Structure 1
Protein backbone atom coordinates (compact mmCIF):
# COMPACT_ATOMS: atom_id res chain seq x y z
CA UNK A 1 0.00 0.00 0.00
CA UNK A 2 2.95 2.32 0.56
CA UNK A 3 3.70 2.43 -3.19
CA UNK A 4 0.11 3.41 -3.98
CA UNK A 5 0.12 6.25 -1.43
CA UNK A 6 3.48 7.46 -2.68
CA UNK A 7 2.23 7.22 -6.28
CA UNK A 8 -0.72 9.46 -5.53
CA UNK A 9 1.55 12.08 -4.02
CA UNK A 10 3.86 12.22 -7.02
CA UNK A 11 2.09 11.13 -10.21
CA UNK A 12 4.87 12.39 -12.50
CA UNK A 13 7.42 10.23 -10.71
CA UNK A 14 5.11 7.23 -11.06
CA UNK A 15 4.62 7.98 -14.76
CA UNK A 16 8.40 8.11 -15.23
CA UNK A 17 8.86 4.83 -13.34
CA UNK A 18 6.26 3.23 -15.60
CA UNK A 19 8.14 4.43 -18.69
CA UNK A 20 11.50 3.29 -17.33
CA UNK A 21 10.20 -0.18 -16.51
CA UNK A 22 8.52 -0.40 -19.91
CA UNK A 23 11.89 0.36 -21.50
CA UNK A 24 13.45 -2.34 -19.34
CA UNK A 25 10.87 -4.93 -20.38
CA UNK A 26 11.06 -3.98 -24.06
CA UNK A 27 14.86 -4.19 -23.96
CA UNK A 28 14.76 -7.62 -22.32
CA UNK A 29 11.77 -9.22 -24.04
CA UNK A 30 10.68 -7.09 -26.98
CA UNK A 31 7.23 -5.60 -27.44
CA UNK A 32 5.48 -8.91 -26.88
CA UNK A 33 7.14 -9.11 -23.47
CA UNK A 34 5.64 -5.81 -22.37
CA UNK A 35 2.38 -6.28 -20.53
CA UNK A 36 0.46 -3.82 -18.41
CA UNK A 37 0.54 -6.33 -15.54
CA UNK A 38 4.28 -6.86 -15.91
CA UNK A 39 4.95 -3.11 -15.84
CA UNK A 40 2.59 -2.66 -12.89
CA UNK A 41 4.37 -5.41 -10.95
CA UNK A 42 7.79 -3.84 -11.58
CA UNK A 43 6.61 -0.38 -10.58
CA UNK A 44 4.64 -1.57 -7.57
CA UNK A 45 1.27 -0.20 -8.68
CA UNK A 46 -1.96 -1.82 -9.82
CA UNK A 47 -2.87 -2.27 -13.48
CA UNK A 48 -5.33 0.55 -12.89
CA UNK A 49 -2.40 2.70 -11.79
CA UNK A 50 -0.72 2.11 -15.14
CA UNK A 51 -3.98 2.79 -16.99
CA UNK A 52 -4.32 6.05 -15.04
CA UNK A 53 -1.22 7.31 -16.87
CA UNK A 54 -1.56 5.43 -20.17
CA UNK A 55 -4.97 4.45 -21.59
CA UNK A 56 -3.66 1.31 -23.32
CA UNK A 57 -0.53 -0.65 -24.19
CA UNK A 58 -0.15 1.04 -27.58
CA UNK A 59 -0.10 4.51 -26.00
CA UNK A 60 2.38 3.26 -23.40
CA UNK A 61 4.68 1.99 -26.15
CA UNK A 62 4.35 5.22 -28.12
CA UNK A 63 5.26 7.24 -25.03
CA UNK A 64 8.17 4.90 -24.41
CA UNK A 65 9.52 5.57 -27.91
CA UNK A 66 8.99 9.32 -27.47
CA UNK A 67 10.96 9.15 -24.20
CA UNK A 68 13.77 7.15 -25.79
CA UNK A 69 13.97 9.49 -28.78
CA UNK A 70 14.17 12.45 -26.42
CA UNK A 71 17.07 10.77 -24.60
CA UNK A 72 18.69 9.95 -27.92
CA UNK A 73 18.34 13.57 -29.00
CA UNK A 74 20.17 14.64 -25.86
CA UNK A 75 22.95 12.12 -26.46
CA UNK A 76 23.33 13.19 -30.11
CA UNK A 77 23.27 16.90 -29.24
CA UNK A 78 25.98 16.41 -26.60
CA UNK A 79 28.17 14.45 -29.03
CA UNK A 80 27.74 17.11 -31.72
CA UNK A 81 28.55 19.91 -29.25
CA UNK A 82 31.86 18.18 -28.40
CA UNK A 83 32.77 17.55 -32.06
CA UNK A 84 35.26 20.15 -33.35
CA UNK A 85 34.58 19.24 -37.02
CA UNK A 86 31.25 20.25 -38.51
CA UNK A 87 31.30 17.98 -41.57
CA UNK A 88 29.91 14.60 -40.55
CA UNK A 89 29.10 15.62 -36.96
CA UNK A 90 25.66 14.00 -36.96
CA UNK A 91 27.01 10.83 -38.55
CA UNK A 92 29.70 10.52 -35.88
CA UNK A 93 27.12 11.13 -33.14
CA UNK A 94 24.83 8.54 -34.74
CA UNK A 95 27.64 5.99 -34.91
CA UNK A 96 28.53 6.68 -31.26
CA UNK A 97 24.91 6.26 -30.18
CA UNK A 98 24.33 3.19 -32.30
CA UNK A 99 27.46 1.38 -31.16
CA UNK A 100 27.60 2.69 -27.59
CA UNK A 101 29.08 0.19 -25.17
CA UNK A 102 27.67 1.80 -22.02
CA UNK A 103 24.95 -0.39 -20.45
CA UNK A 104 22.29 2.36 -20.26
CA UNK A 105 22.78 3.29 -23.89
CA UNK A 106 22.73 -0.33 -25.01
CA UNK A 107 19.45 -0.77 -23.19
CA UNK A 108 18.06 2.36 -24.85
CA UNK A 109 18.98 1.18 -28.34
CA UNK A 110 17.85 -2.36 -27.66
CA UNK A 111 14.46 -1.11 -26.56
CA UNK A 112 14.10 1.15 -29.60
CA UNK A 113 15.30 -1.47 -32.02
CA UNK A 114 13.29 -4.37 -30.67
CA UNK A 115 10.22 -2.19 -30.76
CA UNK A 116 10.61 -0.44 -34.10
CA UNK A 117 11.42 -3.66 -35.90
CA UNK A 118 8.05 -5.13 -34.96
CA UNK A 119 5.60 -2.22 -34.68
CA UNK A 120 4.89 -0.10 -37.81
CA UNK A 121 3.43 2.85 -35.86
CA UNK A 122 6.53 3.00 -33.67
CA UNK A 123 8.76 2.52 -36.69
CA UNK A 124 7.15 5.62 -38.19
CA UNK A 125 8.01 7.58 -35.04
CA UNK A 126 11.64 6.50 -35.39
CA UNK A 127 11.72 7.38 -39.09
CA UNK A 128 10.25 10.84 -38.44
CA UNK A 129 12.96 11.44 -35.82
CA UNK A 130 15.70 10.19 -38.13
CA UNK A 131 14.45 12.19 -41.12
CA UNK A 132 14.17 15.34 -38.99
CA UNK A 133 17.76 14.89 -37.81
CA UNK A 134 18.96 14.38 -41.39
CA UNK A 135 17.12 17.53 -42.47
CA UNK A 136 18.55 19.45 -39.53
CA UNK A 137 22.09 18.34 -40.44
CA UNK A 138 21.73 18.57 -44.22
CA UNK A 139 24.63 21.00 -44.59
CA UNK A 140 27.04 18.83 -42.61
CA UNK A 141 25.89 15.27 -43.27
CA UNK A 142 24.21 15.14 -46.68
CA UNK A 143 26.93 13.18 -48.42
CA UNK A 144 26.82 9.65 -49.83
CA UNK A 145 29.95 8.60 -47.92
CA UNK A 146 28.33 9.60 -44.63
CA UNK A 147 25.08 7.85 -45.51
CA UNK A 148 27.04 4.66 -46.20
CA UNK A 149 28.77 4.99 -42.82
CA UNK A 150 25.41 5.35 -41.02
CA UNK A 151 24.12 2.26 -42.83
CA UNK A 152 27.31 0.41 -41.91
CA UNK A 153 26.83 1.37 -38.25
CA UNK A 154 23.34 -0.11 -38.39
CA UNK A 155 24.81 -3.33 -39.79
CA UNK A 156 27.52 -3.49 -37.14
CA UNK A 157 24.85 -2.90 -34.48
CA UNK A 158 22.72 -5.74 -35.84
CA UNK A 159 25.70 -8.06 -35.84
CA UNK A 160 26.59 -7.09 -32.27
CA UNK A 161 22.96 -7.27 -31.15
CA UNK A 162 22.65 -10.78 -32.54
CA UNK A 163 25.84 -11.60 -30.61
CA UNK A 164 27.57 -12.74 -33.77
CA UNK A 165 30.49 -10.41 -33.08
CA UNK A 166 32.51 -9.80 -29.94
CA UNK A 167 32.47 -6.40 -28.19
CA UNK A 168 36.10 -5.68 -29.04
CA UNK A 169 35.38 -6.08 -32.76
CA UNK A 170 32.33 -3.85 -32.44
CA UNK A 171 34.43 -1.17 -30.76
CA UNK A 172 37.07 -1.52 -33.47
CA UNK A 173 34.43 -1.14 -36.19
CA UNK A 174 32.94 1.90 -34.42
CA UNK A 175 36.33 3.60 -34.33
CA UNK A 176 36.96 2.73 -37.98
CA UNK A 177 33.59 4.16 -39.07
CA UNK A 178 34.18 7.36 -37.10
CA UNK A 179 37.65 7.72 -38.60
CA UNK A 180 36.24 7.32 -42.12
CA UNK A 181 33.77 10.14 -41.49
CA UNK A 182 36.67 12.60 -41.63
CA UNK A 183 37.18 12.82 -45.35
CA UNK A 184 37.81 15.58 -47.84
CA UNK A 185 34.49 16.31 -49.47
CA UNK A 186 34.22 16.62 -53.21
CA UNK A 187 31.06 17.84 -54.87
CA UNK A 188 30.11 14.31 -55.90
CA UNK A 189 27.25 12.83 -53.96
Structure 2
Protein backbone atom coordinates (compact mmCIF):
# COMPACT_ATOMS: atom_id res chain seq x y z
CA UNK A 1 0.00 0.00 0.00
CA UNK A 2 1.31 3.42 -0.99
CA UNK A 3 1.81 6.05 1.70
CA UNK A 4 -0.22 9.15 0.68
CA UNK A 5 2.06 11.43 2.72
CA UNK A 6 5.28 10.40 1.03
CA UNK A 7 6.40 12.36 -2.00
CA UNK A 8 7.12 10.43 -5.16
CA UNK A 9 10.74 10.65 -6.18
CA UNK A 10 11.49 12.52 -9.35
CA UNK A 11 15.27 12.90 -9.53
CA UNK A 12 15.25 14.56 -12.95
CA UNK A 13 12.88 17.28 -11.78
CA UNK A 14 14.81 17.81 -8.53
CA UNK A 15 18.12 18.03 -10.41
CA UNK A 16 16.64 20.63 -12.78
CA UNK A 17 15.17 22.57 -9.85
CA UNK A 18 18.60 22.67 -8.22
CA UNK A 19 20.20 23.91 -11.46
CA UNK A 20 17.50 26.56 -11.87
CA UNK A 21 18.19 27.87 -8.36
CA UNK A 22 21.95 27.88 -8.92
CA UNK A 23 21.43 29.88 -12.12
CA UNK A 24 19.27 32.35 -10.22
CA UNK A 25 21.87 32.75 -7.46
CA UNK A 26 24.77 33.08 -9.88
CA UNK A 27 22.88 35.72 -11.87
CA UNK A 28 22.24 37.73 -8.71
CA UNK A 29 25.51 37.29 -6.83
CA UNK A 30 28.06 35.45 -8.98
CA UNK A 31 29.45 32.13 -7.87
CA UNK A 32 30.66 33.56 -4.57
CA UNK A 33 26.98 33.86 -3.61
CA UNK A 34 26.37 30.17 -4.18
CA UNK A 35 26.44 27.81 -1.23
CA UNK A 36 24.99 24.35 -0.98
CA UNK A 37 22.78 25.59 1.88
CA UNK A 38 21.44 28.56 -0.09
CA UNK A 39 20.66 26.33 -3.08
CA UNK A 40 18.95 23.78 -0.84
CA UNK A 41 16.88 26.47 0.88
CA UNK A 42 15.79 28.04 -2.41
CA UNK A 43 14.91 24.64 -3.88
CA UNK A 44 13.02 23.56 -0.76
CA UNK A 45 15.17 20.48 -0.24
CA UNK A 46 17.87 19.42 2.19
CA UNK A 47 21.60 19.89 1.72
CA UNK A 48 21.75 16.12 1.44
CA UNK A 49 19.33 16.34 -1.48
CA UNK A 50 21.71 18.70 -3.26
CA UNK A 51 24.70 16.46 -2.45
CA UNK A 52 22.78 13.47 -3.81
CA UNK A 53 22.86 15.11 -7.25
CA UNK A 54 26.10 17.12 -7.02
CA UNK A 55 29.02 15.96 -4.85
CA UNK A 56 30.34 19.49 -4.23
CA UNK A 57 29.98 23.14 -5.23
CA UNK A 58 32.56 22.88 -8.02
CA UNK A 59 30.62 20.05 -9.70
CA UNK A 60 27.36 21.95 -9.19
CA UNK A 61 28.70 25.12 -10.82
CA UNK A 62 30.22 23.13 -13.68
CA UNK A 63 26.84 21.45 -14.30
CA UNK A 64 25.17 24.88 -14.26
CA UNK A 65 27.62 26.18 -16.88
CA UNK A 66 27.12 23.12 -19.06
CA UNK A 67 23.35 23.68 -18.85
CA UNK A 68 23.68 27.38 -19.71
CA UNK A 69 26.07 26.82 -22.60
CA UNK A 70 23.82 24.08 -23.98
CA UNK A 71 20.84 26.47 -23.77
CA UNK A 72 22.82 29.25 -25.45
CA UNK A 73 23.92 26.85 -28.17
CA UNK A 74 20.30 25.85 -28.90
CA UNK A 75 19.26 29.50 -29.16
CA UNK A 76 22.18 30.35 -31.45
CA UNK A 77 21.38 27.33 -33.67
CA UNK A 78 17.74 28.38 -33.95
CA UNK A 79 18.77 31.89 -35.05
CA UNK A 80 21.24 30.52 -37.60
CA UNK A 81 18.63 28.16 -39.06
CA UNK A 82 16.34 31.12 -39.72
CA UNK A 83 19.07 33.29 -41.27
CA UNK A 84 19.00 33.42 -45.07
CA UNK A 85 22.43 35.10 -45.43
CA UNK A 86 25.44 32.84 -44.84
CA UNK A 87 28.04 35.58 -44.28
CA UNK A 88 28.02 36.54 -40.60
CA UNK A 89 25.24 34.12 -39.63
CA UNK A 90 26.96 33.03 -36.39
CA UNK A 91 27.85 36.61 -35.48
CA UNK A 92 24.26 37.78 -36.00
CA UNK A 93 22.95 34.88 -33.91
CA UNK A 94 25.55 35.59 -31.21
CA UNK A 95 24.61 39.27 -31.08
CA UNK A 96 20.89 38.49 -31.13
CA UNK A 97 21.12 35.99 -28.27
CA UNK A 98 23.66 37.75 -26.08
CA UNK A 99 21.93 41.13 -26.37
CA UNK A 100 18.43 39.75 -25.90
CA UNK A 101 16.04 41.58 -23.56
CA UNK A 102 16.29 38.81 -20.93
CA UNK A 103 19.88 39.78 -20.19
CA UNK A 104 18.93 41.37 -16.85
CA UNK A 105 20.78 40.82 -13.61
CA UNK A 106 18.87 37.63 -12.78
CA UNK A 107 18.94 36.05 -16.22
CA UNK A 108 20.59 32.82 -17.27
CA UNK A 109 22.93 34.79 -19.54
CA UNK A 110 23.93 36.96 -16.60
CA UNK A 111 24.65 33.82 -14.56
CA UNK A 112 26.86 32.46 -17.33
CA UNK A 113 28.74 35.73 -17.74
CA UNK A 114 29.16 36.36 -14.02
CA UNK A 115 30.50 32.86 -13.49
CA UNK A 116 32.93 32.95 -16.39
CA UNK A 117 34.16 36.43 -15.46
CA UNK A 118 34.48 35.86 -11.71
CA UNK A 119 36.11 32.42 -11.84
CA UNK A 120 38.79 31.86 -14.46
CA UNK A 121 38.69 28.10 -13.88
CA UNK A 122 35.33 28.10 -15.66
CA UNK A 123 36.26 30.49 -18.46
CA UNK A 124 37.86 27.59 -20.33
CA UNK A 125 34.41 26.02 -20.85
CA UNK A 126 33.18 29.23 -22.47
CA UNK A 127 36.31 29.64 -24.58
CA UNK A 128 36.04 26.05 -25.78
CA UNK A 129 32.40 26.55 -26.83
CA UNK A 130 33.21 29.77 -28.66
CA UNK A 131 36.28 28.31 -30.41
CA UNK A 132 34.27 25.28 -31.55
CA UNK A 133 31.51 27.50 -32.92
CA UNK A 134 33.99 29.75 -34.70
CA UNK A 135 35.67 26.70 -36.29
CA UNK A 136 32.25 25.45 -37.34
CA UNK A 137 31.52 28.82 -38.98
CA UNK A 138 35.03 29.60 -40.23
CA UNK A 139 33.86 30.09 -43.82
CA UNK A 140 31.13 32.56 -42.83
CA UNK A 141 32.39 34.35 -39.70
CA UNK A 142 36.17 34.61 -39.76
CA UNK A 143 36.45 38.25 -40.86
CA UNK A 144 38.01 40.77 -38.49
CA UNK A 145 34.96 43.01 -38.96
CA UNK A 146 32.72 40.29 -37.55
CA UNK A 147 35.10 39.63 -34.67
CA UNK A 148 34.97 43.33 -33.77
CA UNK A 149 31.16 43.17 -33.80
CA UNK A 150 31.17 40.16 -31.45
CA UNK A 151 33.55 42.02 -29.14
CA UNK A 152 31.30 45.08 -29.27
CA UNK A 153 28.31 42.92 -28.31
CA UNK A 154 30.29 41.52 -25.36
CA UNK A 155 31.11 45.06 -24.27
CA UNK A 156 27.51 46.20 -24.64
CA UNK A 157 26.07 43.50 -22.38
CA UNK A 158 28.89 44.01 -19.88
CA UNK A 159 28.28 47.76 -19.63
CA UNK A 160 24.51 47.25 -19.51
CA UNK A 161 24.98 44.81 -16.64
CA UNK A 162 27.05 47.32 -14.66
CA UNK A 163 24.65 50.24 -14.92
CA UNK A 164 21.81 50.60 -12.41
CA UNK A 165 19.25 51.65 -15.05
CA UNK A 166 18.74 50.13 -18.50
CA UNK A 167 20.08 52.37 -21.25
CA UNK A 168 17.57 53.79 -23.71
CA UNK A 169 19.80 53.08 -26.73
CA UNK A 170 20.59 49.42 -25.95
CA UNK A 171 18.16 48.09 -28.58
CA UNK A 172 19.55 50.57 -31.11
CA UNK A 173 23.10 49.35 -30.44
CA UNK A 174 21.99 45.76 -30.95
CA UNK A 175 20.20 46.66 -34.19
CA UNK A 176 23.24 48.54 -35.49
CA UNK A 177 25.61 45.66 -34.70
CA UNK A 178 23.34 43.23 -36.53
CA UNK A 179 23.06 45.54 -39.54
CA UNK A 180 26.86 45.80 -39.73
CA UNK A 181 27.18 42.00 -39.77
CA UNK A 182 25.76 41.71 -43.30
CA UNK A 183 28.11 41.66 -46.30
CA UNK A 184 29.02 45.01 -47.73
CA UNK A 185 27.53 45.52 -51.18
Q: Common fold, TM-score beyond 0.5? A: yes
Aligned residues: 181
Gaps of 5+ in 2: none
Gaps of 5+ in 1: none
How has the CA–CA distance of structure 1 residues 105 and 71 changed in structure 2, closer, same or farther, with 3 Å as cutoff? farther
Instruction: Report what 1:172 is aligned to.
Output: 172
Alignment partners' CA distance in 2, 1:103 and 1:156: 11
Contact 1:97 1:105 in 2 (8 A): no
Instruction: Report what 1:48 is aligned to.
Output: 48
Q: TM-score, normalised by structure 1?
A: 0.90
Alignment partners' CA distance in 1, 2:92 and 2:128: 20
Instruction: Report what 1:158 is aligned to.
Output: 158
Q: Could you tell me how far 1:166 is from its partner in structure 2?
A: 3.5
Q: CA RMSD in A?
A: 2.0
Alignment partners' CA distance in 1, 2:179 and 2:74: 23
Contact 2:75 2:97 in 1 (8 A): yes
C-alpha distance after superposition, 1:109-137 (max 9, x if no partner): 10011100111221110110111111111
- Flag the structure with higher helix content: 1
Alignment partners' CA distance in 1, 2:106 and 2:139: 29
Counterparts of residues 30-109 of structure 1 (less than 5 Å):
30-102=30-102, 107-109=107-109
Higher relative contact order (CA 8 A, sep 6+): 2
Could you list the structure 1 runs, at least 4 aligned residues long, displaced by more than 2 angstroms after superposition: 102-106, 164-168
Task: Report SS of the residue matched to 2:107.
Answer: helix
How has the CA–CA distance of structure 1 residues 40 and 106 changed in structure 2, closer, same or farther, with 3 Å as cutoff? closer
Q: TM-score, normalised by structure 2?
A: 0.92
How has the CA–CA distance of structure 1 residues 5 and 68 changed in structure 2, closer, same or farther, with 3 Å as cutoff? farther
Q: Could you tell me how far 1:98 is from its partner in structure 2?
A: 1.3
